[in-house]
Amino acid sequence: MESTYRANDAVATLQEIYDNLNGFAIKVKSIDGFQGGEEDIIIISTVRFNSSGSIGFIRSLQRTNVALTRAQHCLWILGNERTLFDSNSVWKGLVLDAKDRQRLFSADEDSGLSKTILDVMKELDQLDDLLNADSTVFKSQRWKVLLNDNFKRSFKNMVTSSMKMAVLNLLIKLAGGWRPKRKGVDLVCETSSQIVKQFKVEGYYIVCTIDIQKETKYTQVLRAWDLLSLDGARKLLKRLDGMFARYTDDFINLCKQKCLDGDLEVPKSWSASLDLVRFKNRGERLADSSNDCVVDGEE
């Protein structure tokens, strides 16, 4: 029933906005409700997102035919590319055709759409679902963001959606390359000289470090360890200091290197052939349960 009310509210809002415009009308219907009808412009929402390729009732060829043939001039399809592609149905062919014609657009590449998605997730109280590097708000950013499990737990325990939104907005800015110019952001570990950054938001501190991840090449990434009070951040700093003391000087120096693109800080990369060793003990493997971090001793 809740989803029905939301749909009705959306229809009422859209009609209130657009019904007063001359020559413009808007209708919101299910696919079955468009049987026999046509409109100049049709926007279809396929709604679902899952890794199994389950697309529900639009697997029906009859319904798909109705959905795709109601537009007289322009048809937009909103959906998840992976789910539609993995459906092994006519929708897979549509995805491939859109790619071939360069008519497949990603919502996370548009700042306006990304903001809209964030606003809707806040309204639906689903901000926790955005806490992964592949989420819409992070996927197209300059920096890859790694969120440790302790950070995710602290985020979920925040009291209000507005507090969560403030944390997410700051993370998005950091992932885009923004860095505060004021002093007092950096915390320096005593033994390793590894710089840990703390960013204040809503009375808490996001404790971050620059790490290095190897995929096709070595690349700097932003790791968020936790979301803590100032006292909690200081205690975490001591634990991190013990970990970083075991890192090689070469690894730490690469973590500390900075590259600027105008006013933005961007990640540096190095060839995968680089003989980069994380730990002074080359065979060491670190498993720190207090921070849910497991990294290999040698990259």
pLDDT digits (tens, 9 = 90+) for 121-165: 777 777 888 887 667 778 778 999 999 999 999 999 998 888 999
For the domain 130-295, what is the CATH superfamily, name and number?
Answer: RelE-like (3.30.2310.20)
% residues pLDDT > 70 (the chain): 80
State the pLDDT confidence band at 4, using cuts at 50, 70 and 90. Answer: very low
Q: Are 220 and 255 in contact (CB under 8 A)?
A: yes
pLDDT average, residue stretch 235-264: 92
- Residue 268 tokens read as 């540096």
Kindly list the domain boundaries of the chain, sorted by start residue.
31-105, 130-295
* Collapsed DSSP state (helix, strand, coil) of residue 247: strand
Q: Is residue 120 pLDDT above 90, yes or no?
A: no
pLDDT average, residue stretch 65-77: 90
Which pLDDT score, from 0 to 100, does residue 256 have?
92
pLDDT, the chain, mean: 81
- Residue 66 tokens read as 């109705």
* Collapsed DSSP state (helix, strand, coil) of residue 227: strand
Predicted confidence (pLDDT) per residue in 157-178, tens digit? 998 888 999 999 999 999 999 9
Q: Is residue 12 pLDDT above 80, yes or no?
A: no
H helix or E strand, kind and range, residue 39? strand 39-45
pLDDT average, residue stretch 268-293: 72
**Which of residues 112 and 31 earns the better pLDDT score?**
31
Architecture of the domain whose range is 31-105: 3-Layer(aba) Sandwich (3.40)
Which pLDDT score, from 0 to 100, does residue 205 have?
93
DSSP 156-223: HT-S-HHHHHHHHHHHHHHHTT----SSS-EEE-TTT--EEEEEEETTEEEEEEEEEEESSSEEEEEE
Which pLDDT score, from 0 to 100, does residue 285 have?
56
Q: Is residue 196 pLDDT above 80, yes or no?
A: yes
State the pLDDT confidence band at 74, using cuts at 50, 70 and 90. Answer: very high
- DSSP symbol at 151: H
pLDDT average, residue stretch 49-65: 82
Residues in the chain: 299
Geometric angle at alpha carbon 162, from 112 and 47, rounded to 5°: 50
